[in-house]
Structure formats: structure tokens, C-alpha cells
Amino acid sequence: METFSIELNEISHKRSKLIRLWIVGAVILIASIFLSFLLIGDDFKKLAVVLPLLIQVSIYIYFAYVTYNARIFIQSDSYALEYKFGLVSKMPKSIIWETVKKIKFGPTYISFNKKSGKKVTISLGWLPYAKLKEIKEKVYQVAQSKSIPCEWAEFKKYS
């Protein structure tokens, strides 16, 4: 039984570009706060303009922090397949292998038909093609070792 773990967060590869983007965004926000503070004369109007901008800066910093610390992954062992794709969600979702009746591989998704009649679809269209292919191959290998039937979706060509 082969286990796998694929890390999907590519911040480590693009760290310098991401930090430059954050710095440019922070400079633009701080410059807009400073300009609005200088151009408005009345104190009440200054507060009315600066307060929403400060809230915007704090939201910007929060989402930059959450994005940087997010762990996006898909992994499997002999018991279950676990995946976490959202930046804000804390708990990973899991699919227990014993409950899977059939797996269908589509162009940008993997669909798990469960023995209870429910269907769980993992959408992977947002991933690079190399990662998508790697995930499909690993899930297929696990399914073969667990004797779970697999089906490949047909590609439809429209003229």
C-alpha cells in the first residue's frame, strides 16, 4: 500500500515575488491614507476617510498573513484520503477508503461514489497540470491497491 502526501501551497517557490507584491500593496494603501489625511481639512472628515482605509489595511494584513501560513495539501494512507484546499478552512476533509464504491477521473475532477449512494467530487481545475496529473496518478495507484474500480471520463469534442 503506497501512501502519498502532495503539498499544493507554492508560496515557498514564489516567496520573493509574494513579498514584493505585499510591499507594493502596503505602500499604495499607506500612501492613499496619507494623501487623504493631507487633502481633507476638517477633523471629522479626516476620521470619516481614514477609518475605512485603516480597516482596509488591517484586512489586507490579515489575509496576507493567512495566505502565507496556509497549508494546502492532499494526502492518503491506508485508511483515508485527506485534503485541504481552502485558505481559511482549518479542518481537512477526508474520504474513508472503505466507504468508496467507485472512483471516476474527469479532466479536472475526481469523483468518489460512496457505498451509501452519495457522491463526493473534488474539483482540481485550479491546479497546474503537472500537479493535477500527479494527484490523479497517486489516487489511481491507491485505488488499484484497494481493488476499487476506476472509470475515466471521456473527453467530448464539439465541432
pLDDT by residue (tens digit) across 48-100?
Answer: 777 777 788 788 788 777 777 778 889 999 899 999 987 767 788 999 999 99
Instruction: Name the H helices within 4-159.
Output: 15-39, 43-69, 129-145
Specify the long-range contacts of residues 123-132, CB closer than 8 Å, at least 24 apart: 127/8, 131/6, 131/8, 132/108
Q: What is the mean pLDDT of residues 26-53?
A: 75
β-strands 100-105, 150-152 pairing: parallel
Whether pTM exceeds 0.85? no
β-strands 109-114, 100-105 pairing: antiparallel
Instruction: Report pLDDT for 34.
Output: 77
Q: How confident is the model at residue 153 (pLDDT cuts 50, 70, 90)?
A: confident
Which residue, 1, 19, 5, is CA-closest to 82? 5
Tell me the three cell numbers of residue 3.
501512501
The Cα-based distances of 152 to 87, 105, 109, 132 in angstroms read 30, 5, 11, 14
Q: Provide the percentage of residues in the chain whose pLDDT is more than 90.
A: 38
Instruction: Report pLDDT for 19.
Output: 77
Tell me the three cell numbers of residue 95.
474520504
Instruction: Report pLDDT for 106.
Output: 92
**How far, in whole angstroms, is CA 142 from its chain's centroid?**
23
> Locate cell 466507504: which residue?
99
- Among 28-32, 41-45, 126-130, whose mean pLDDT is lowest? 41-45
| Average pLDDT in the chain | 83
Q: Render pLDDT for 122-137 as a digit per residue (tens, 0 to 9).
A: 999 888 888 999 999 9
The amino acid occupying position 82 is E
